[in-house]
Structure 1
Amino acid sequence: MKKNALTTAVVAGVAGVAGLANVATAVNLNPDGLGQVLIYPYYTVNEGQASLISIVNTTNQAKAVKVRFVESLNSAEVLDFNLYLSRFDVWTAALTQDTNGTPVLTTADRSCTVPDVFANQPVAFRPFEFQENNFDIVGLIDAVRVGGSGGSLVPLSPEERMSQGYLEVIEMGVLFDEGTASSSFRPATWATHGSSGVPSNCAGLVSAWDSGGVWQSIDPNNQTGPRGVNSPTGGLFGSGVIVDVDFGRALTYNATAIDGFWRNTGLAVNTATTGGEADLHFRPGSTFPSLEFARTEADDSATANIFANGSVVSLNYTAGLNAVSAVLMSEGIFNEFNIEQGFLGASEWVVTFPTKRAHTYQAAAAAGEAQRPFTDAADSEASSSLRDGLLFDTYGICETINTLFFDREERTRAPVGSDFSPPRPGQARDALCWEANVVAFNQTVTADAPTAVLGTAGKQGAQGITVGTFSAGWVRMDFNAASRNPTSGLYDSYSNFLVSNPNATTNRRTALVGLPVLGFWAADYQNTAAAAGVRANYSQLHDHRYFRNGFQLPAGTTGPAYNAPLSVVVGGARLIGADGSCPQGQTCS
């Protein structure tokens, strides 16, 4: 049988398998890098670094876009605003630190923003979301625990916490002009750059959100009244650059593009003006829209198209968040490392879970299906005074992982005991506990010591991983709390998985295994033998490679109750491993 990581059985058995013609009608990762949603997996201003951001509108339509920065520990929002892009527009900004260590955003770009506070004036990040609005730990706002539940509680200032994280960009809709008279509401014209390179009326867009303004008076639930915004159409792309001037480093990456995120299907809008399509346009200061707003069907559900092994699998989810997680789901990731000491090699991985907060920001008492594919469902603080009933503990929300190391000569080794430093007391297996994690190879990471490349301390979400005597090679990191079968090297069950709605034809649900993840490998090198006056610092960045796995449940079943494992053997068929192997005596498909 053909041995695919996402099985042929799933592809053949799921009705409505999408072709390229209708990929845009479902949530999907666009391999061309264009989309309605962009996710930048990491920003940092640690150790004097700067992060540069660009957002490009490739279409001939003016667009309303939500820009949101979130910190790395629990994805709490630290800055967001509305951006109004002209057709074919580019918006750029730089993220640095002020003299107090607070991250600040600065731009000389003239594209319209609301609030209009970006004309070369640094805008400071805000800790309100995790300090006052939505507490992580009730009664504790300035400390984290390093080393698991029994580790040390160490101070963490708001500035330190906000200094690294990731970025979401969500298209809210296409701007259009209402009416024809000069006094009419004309947001598309106002956002459009003229021959001078300056938008014609950013103040008009700002005033539309003021008290009594056209947009301020809109009910976002009913979408009534003159709006000047139609449904989003996509066509955005973006990039990030992490710059260290002292080292001479510029780590560049492309934003991950999610297309087909939202479409106006069967939504009635009461408006007497031109246009009138439903949209995602929310007021500045709102935490909406978020990644939970995915919607492709008239019943408010979302269909996800997942590309794997040359096929497209279409799965439907009642919750839009699950569709976004589905297209980001991976059983694990592959990437390289290089720590050769001959040229002072240093390697670090960024591992970001961009939908984790949306799945887990709730009380432990409410733990259930909404948390899948994440499994940590306990308020397990060692101190009774800190047990607030919320899932996020002082050491995060932890998911167990499995790692396997290979050098460049095909030799391999698995971790022995706890491979991360500092270890989690009482737990012999590795775990990633934050939203955006930095994993540093053969570095001893402490609470306050920064990592060699990205400059992230242990209390900010970094941890060390030991690869023994291997100086270069690659790593397979699996997201599954279950252990591998020591005989076959594969899994007998899965703990991290996401189950779709039943297929209308087969009445079978599909389980995707792993976690929704993004990230990259970043490395630094130095040539210590270079001639005097010759710059000899080098860096590189490579996106992770992902392997996707999934299988159908028996007809009519819903899968195990939350936090119960899912057996690999389902309906007499067992999925193959990512390496294409099939255990002796098993049926693989």
Structure 2
Amino acid sequence: MKKSLLAVGVAATLGALSGVSNAAMTVAQNGVGQINILPYYTVQNGNTTLISIANTDELNGKAVKVRFRGAQFSDDVFDFQVFLSPADVWTAAVTLDGNVARLTTNDNSCTLPAKADLNQKFVTARLLDANKAQGTREGYVEIINMGDIPVSAVPDSLYVATKHVNGVAPCTTAVLIGDVAAPNDLTGKLTNPKTGLTSFATIINVANSKAFTVPATALNQIDGVTGLPSLVVPVRYSRQANLTTGTLSFGSVSPAFASAQTADSVFDPATGNVKMYEFDLPDLSTPYGTANAAAQLAELQTALAKGSVVTEYATDDSILASTDVVLSQPTRRYYYTWTDTPTAATDPLRTLATVDGATGVYSSLDADTNSVTVGAPSVYDREERTVSAENNIVISPNPQGSATWTLIGEVSVVSINNGAGKTGALGAEITAQDYTFAYNDGLVRLSTTAGVQALPVIGFTAVNVFNASAGGAAGTNYGQVLPLKWNTAP
């Protein structure tokens, strides 16, 4: 028997024995997937975030949706499409422009909108006034393969338009856009979106000489028979357009809200009442081989659920050490209940809604503080000593101690022994808080359980230390990234 067939057979057997009898969304251990999620980007306090998205498929191109979401309520603050040719890499930088993040790319891969229009500030249209000043500065990134651009003996026009020639893709306008009044629907030129995407972000602070490189969490829809990434996920292409009606794009069949296509109830006229456009699809809840958006959300919840995360930390003052733990929750938005606070007079384009509460695993959400209550941390120093009483661990600057610990926002940044203000390693502000322990260095287990529910969490730990004897008289910083370890059970 050929080795490849044997491997497939073994995978199928192991899948059956482990109870994986149906297709399911699963975290890819090799970091390559149909969907990637970057847990954090930031332009706070001198930071720039460099983004890289690669297509490891050496035969087929990929039509990729990229969406930046804010750290507070994961509002869409910038989204576009990238067309990766085989073995292609697309790169960009996110910087601060005044009070708002902006994207800059010199990459020659095709995008919609085109590169000249893509180099601009992030969009604050869906941020409430209270969030506009900082709402784009921190968040996370969704990267979704909407469909493959297939290679063939006689290549299709989309393949030719997006395939690099001497280092530059043609990006033929007639193929990618067509009539500007009604952009082309490319669904018919795409095939089932297969695995192949891998991504990373580097958060770099030149002035402070430190950088943190973070890989994306990769997800695949796994075939229940083979145990391998599914080859039959339907094409999920939706035009990068502010259209609400149409007959071709899967995202345009409903002018208002299509619960089969998204679990984001902000688009439900009865609740959030935010106007949905084709560019809003696909999102992470769009059915990717599942029956509907609710099923997709349930699979993501299972795949990303973590009862607690464990990490080392360092906060020794002698080396100016600082530690931040990023706990991104990329499905929290889909559990919100909304209230349509703005009126037609103040919000004529129906872009705004206020979080009223949440359901399911986030039913304990406090909308006023944008936080969920989790369990107490367990803390050890490097010599096994542990904090004996919970009130010796505080969310500073509370001097009386606290029996309540929370995660704030969609991207919660927990700083350790840092005090009030921006966090120590990453300079986070929007959804940051501090946990103060009795020990400078050691091991900590942070709860990511709300009530009895393990929350869907991805992230990393950023540790920064300062070496006064290196880098000349000024010394230098060293940034390092620790991958999170976790328990799935609460």
Q: Give the TM interval when normalised to the shorter protein.
A: 0.7 to 0.9
In the alignment, is the contact (CA less than 8 A) between 1:417 and 1:429 conserved in 2?
A: no
Instruction: Please identify, of 353-362 and 330-339, the stretch whose mean Cα deviation from structure 2 is larger.
Output: 353-362
Specify the alignment match of 1:296 in structure 2.
289
Specify the alignment match of 1:434 in structure 2.
409
Rounded to whole Å, the distance in 1 between the matches of 2:300 and 2:361 is 12
| Displacement after TM superposition at 1:417 (Å) | 6.8
1:254 to 2:210 alignment: no
- Residue pairs, 1:148-167, within 5 angstroms: 158-167=132-141
Specify the alignment match of 1:7 in structure 2.
none
- Residue pairs, 1:182-193, within 5 angstroms: 186-193=157-164
Rounded to whole Å, the distance in 1 between the matches of 2:417 and 2:67 is 33
| Displacement after TM superposition at 1:463 (Å) | 0.7
| Displacement after TM superposition at 1:261 (Å) | 7.1
Specify the alignment match of 1:474 in structure 2.
443
1:299-326 Cα deviation digits (max 9, x unpaired)? x169xxxxxxxxxxxxxxx621110111
Specify the alignment match of 1:568 in structure 2.
none
Rounded to whole Å, the distance in 2 between the matches of 1:531 and 1:108 is 31
In the alignment, is the contact (CA less than 8 A) between 1:422 and 1:463 conserved in 2?
A: no
Which of 428, 438, 443 is the aligned partner of 1:456? 428
Specify the alignment match of 1:501 in structure 2.
none
Amino acid at match of 1:128: A
Rounded to whole Å, the distance in 2 between the matches of 1:175 and 1:115 is 18
Amino acid at match of 2:363: T
In the alignment, is the contact (CA less than 8 A) between 1:177 and 1:189 conserved in 2?
A: no
Amino acid at match of 1:296: G
* Structure 2 unaligned residues grouped into runs of 5+: 1-12, 225-231, 242-278, 341-354
| Displacement after TM superposition at 1:212 (Å) | 4.2
| Displacement after TM superposition at 1:360 (Å) | 1.9
In the alignment, is the contact (CA less than 8 A) between 1:401 and 1:432 conserved in 2?
A: no
- Residue pairs, 1:324-339, within 5 angstroms: 324-339=300-315
| Displacement after TM superposition at 1:118 (Å) | 4.4
Amino acid at match of 1:86: S
Rounded to whole Å, the distance in 2 between the matches of 1:94 and 1:233 is 27
Q: TM-score, normalised by structure 1?
A: 0.65
**How many positions carry a matched residue from both structures?**
418
Specify the alignment match of 1:130 in structure 2.
127
Rounded to whole Å, the distance in 2 between the matches of 1:209 and 1:258 is 35
Amino acid at match of 1:74: F
Specify the alignment match of 2:91 in structure 1.
92
| Displacement after TM superposition at 1:80 (Å) | 0.3
1:505-560 Cα deviation digits (max 9, x unpaired)? xxxxxxxxx1100111111111224584585321111111111128xxxxxxxxxx
Specify the alignment match of 2:236 in structure 1.
280
Specify the alignment match of 2:455 in structure 1.
515
Rounded to whole Å, the distance in 1 between the matches of 2:373 and 2:172 is 45
What SS is found at the alignment partner of 1:319?
helix
Amino acid at match of 2:120: V
Rounded to whole Å, the distance in 2 between the matches of 1:531 and 1:238 is 31
Amino acid at match of 1:227: G
In the alignment, is the contact (CA less than 8 A) between 1:104 and 1:123 conserved in 2?
A: yes
Specify the alignment match of 1:231 in structure 2.
192
- Residue pairs, 1:131-530, within 5 angstroms: 131=128, 141-142=129-130, 158-176=132-150, 186-194=157-165, 196-208=166-178, 210-215=180-185, 227-260=188-221, 278-285=234-241, 286-297=279-290, 300=291, 319-362=295-338, 371-376=359-364, 393-413=367-387, 414-416=389-391, 419-422=394-397, 428-445=403-420, 449-457=421-429, 460-468=430-438, 470-481=439-450, 495-497=451-453, 514-530=454-470
Rounded to whole Å, the distance in 1 between the matches of 2:159 and 2:472 is 56
Amino acid at match of 1:358: Y
Rounded to whole Å, the distance in 1 between the matches of 2:392 and 2:467 is 35
Rounded to whole Å, the distance in 2 between the matches of 1:277 and 1:440 is 40
In the alignment, is the contact (CA less than 8 A) between 2:371 and 2:406 conserved in 1?
A: no
Identity %: 28
| Displacement after TM superposition at 1:122 (Å) | 3.0
Amino acid at match of 2:173: A
What SS is found at the alignment partner of 1:109?
coil
In the alignment, is the contact (CA less than 8 A) between 1:55 and 1:236 conserved in 2?
A: yes
| Displacement after TM superposition at 1:331 (Å) | 0.8
* Structure 1 unaligned residues grouped into runs of 5+: 1-14, 132-140, 143-155, 217-225, 264-275, 303-317, 381-392, 482-494, 498-513, 551-589
Rounded to whole Å, the distance in 2 between the matches of 1:418 and 1:408 is 17
Specify the alignment match of 1:537 in structure 2.
477
| Displacement after TM superposition at 1:402 (Å) | 1.9
Amino acid at match of 1:548: T
Rounded to whole Å, the distance in 1 between the matches of 2:324 and 2:42 is 14
| Displacement after TM superposition at 1:77 (Å) | 0.7
What SS is found at the alignment partner of 1:230?
coil
Distance 1:456 1:214, change over 3 A: closer
Specify the alignment match of 1:269 in structure 2.
none
Distance 1:57 1:426, change over 3 A: same
What SS is found at the alignment partner of 1:452?
coil
Rounded to whole Å, the distance in 2 between the matches of 1:44 and 1:433 is 16
| Displacement after TM superposition at 1:335 (Å) | 0.6
Amino acid at match of 1:354: P
- Tell me how large the CA RMSD over aligned residues is: 3.4
Rounded to whole Å, the distance in 2 between the matches of 1:20 and 1:210 is 51
| Displacement after TM superposition at 1:293 (Å) | 1.7
Rounded to whole Å, the distance in 1 between the matches of 2:373 and 2:339 is 17
Amino acid at match of 2:188: R
Distance 1:418 1:534, change over 3 A: closer
Amino acid at match of 2:413: V
In the alignment, is the contact (CA less than 8 A) between 1:496 and 1:515 conserved in 2?
A: no
Distance 1:27 1:442, change over 3 A: same
Q: TM-score, normalised by structure 2?
A: 0.77
| Displacement after TM superposition at 1:427 (Å) | 7.2
1:418-465 Cα deviation digits (max 9, x unpaired)? 7213559997411113110111111122xxx322221122xx111111
Rounded to whole Å, the distance in 2 between the matches of 1:424 and 1:371 is 33
| Displacement after TM superposition at 1:284 (Å) | 1.1
What SS is found at the alignment partner of 1:126?
coil
Specify the alignment match of 1:51 in structure 2.
49
| Displacement after TM superposition at 1:480 (Å) | 3.1
1:67 to 2:66 alignment: yes
Amino acid at match of 1:129: R
1:184-222 Cα deviation digits (max 9, x unpaired)? x6111111101x211123423442473344318xxxxxx
Rounded to whole Å, the distance in 2 between the matches of 1:277 and 1:322 is 17
Distance 1:188 1:531, change over 3 A: closer
What SS is found at the alignment partner of 2:90?
strand
In the alignment, is the contact (CA less than 8 A) between 1:418 and 1:429 conserved in 2?
A: no
